[in-house]
Amino acid sequence: MYRIIIPFLFLIFCLFPPKAAAQAVIRSDNYNIQMPNFNSGAGIPSSGNYRLDSTIGQTAAGLYSSAGYRVRSGFQYIHSIIPFSFAMSNYLINFGTLVTGVPATMSATLTVSDGGAGGYKVTARESDYLKTSGGIAIPDTTCDSSSCSESAAGVWALSSTYGFGYNMSGNDIPADFADATYFRHFANASQSQTDQVVMTSANVGRNRTATMTYKINVSGVQAAGSYQNRILFTAVPSY
């Protein structure tokens, strides 16, 4: 009997603009602002029927853009119109009992909202191969004809190809996931492999969703047991 349980971890890194007091120079470890000015009115007034961002009296408040840049000037831009968030629909993947030579699949939905001017990315890696407590491992798939890796997808359609891997479909996924037959294996931290991007976009958007489909197939010589590993997701916005 094969029992596969994969718990997931994810990290979300968000950058929030710090509050600044009026003074001649504003400094931190990350920035240095010269000659800040007082404004006659700014803030976020609201009532039961409205919410309004405002900047009054600032020298050049507004949105400025060209082919090479975009500048959002004014206190109304101090927070993102679309706050950054990352969610996953399924944190525990349990394949249950596997049948040799019969691939099993399960899926989870990744959802990202992002309003940062630089877009976002989500990366993933596994802690190790799927292993028993005694160290017996199920290998990561290399797909049919050894055509895939942690950074490039390949076709995995044969029931005689064994291992563990994943497919991506939906919004903002890497282009090498051409269709549902294309898989990669996860970057393996125990093998010093670098985290790989599974979703990314340079544009803002709400509820960008992608489906990650996990696939496992074991051979008749794979030892019975309970196999586990962990997948780490890291979601990073860019401002």
Residues 163 and 212 in one domain: yes
What domain range is 214 assigned to? 2-15+84-237
Q: Distance between CA 9 and CA 19 in Å, rounded?
A: 31
Average pLDDT over residues 172-182: 97
* Average model confidence (pLDDT) across the chain: 85
Number of domains in the chain: 2
Return the residue matching tokens 């996931």.
177
Residues 133 and 196 in one domain: yes
pTM assigned to the model = 0.72
For residue 149, the model assigns a pLDDT of 97
Residues 73 and 120 in one domain: no
Residues 184 and 217 in one domain: yes
Residue 8 lies in a domain: yes
Q: What is the pLDDT of residues 58-87, one digit of tens each?
A: 667 778 888 888 777 766 665 667 889 999
Q: Distance between CA 79 and CA 53 in Å, rounded?
A: 10
Residues 9 and 101 in one domain: yes
As a residue count, the chain comes to 239
C-alpha pair distances (Å), 79 with each of 27, 116, 122: 19, 9, 21
Residue 20 lies in a domain: no
Residues 118 and 134 in one domain: yes
Q: What is the pLDDT of residues 116-148, one digit of tens each?
A: 778 899 999 999 999 999 999 999 999 999 999
For residue 13, the model assigns a pLDDT of 46
Residues 36 and 152 in one domain: no
What b/e string do you get for 219-239 counting C-beta neighbours within 10 Å, with b at 16 or more?
A: eeebeebebbbebbbbbbbee
Residues 114 and 220 in one domain: yes
Q: What is the pLDDT of residues 184-226, one digit of tens each?
A: 999 999 999 999 999 999 987 899 999 999 999 999 999 999 9
- What residue ranges in 79-162 does DSSP mark as E strands? 85-88, 92-97, 104-114, 120-126, 130-131, 137-138, 154-155
Rounded to a whole number, what is the distance in angstroms from the first to the last CA of the chain?
Answer: 49
C-alpha pair distances (Å), 214 with each of 26, 64, 65, 67, 168: 49, 44, 42, 40, 9
Q: Distance between CA 184 and CA 176 in Å, rounded?
A: 9
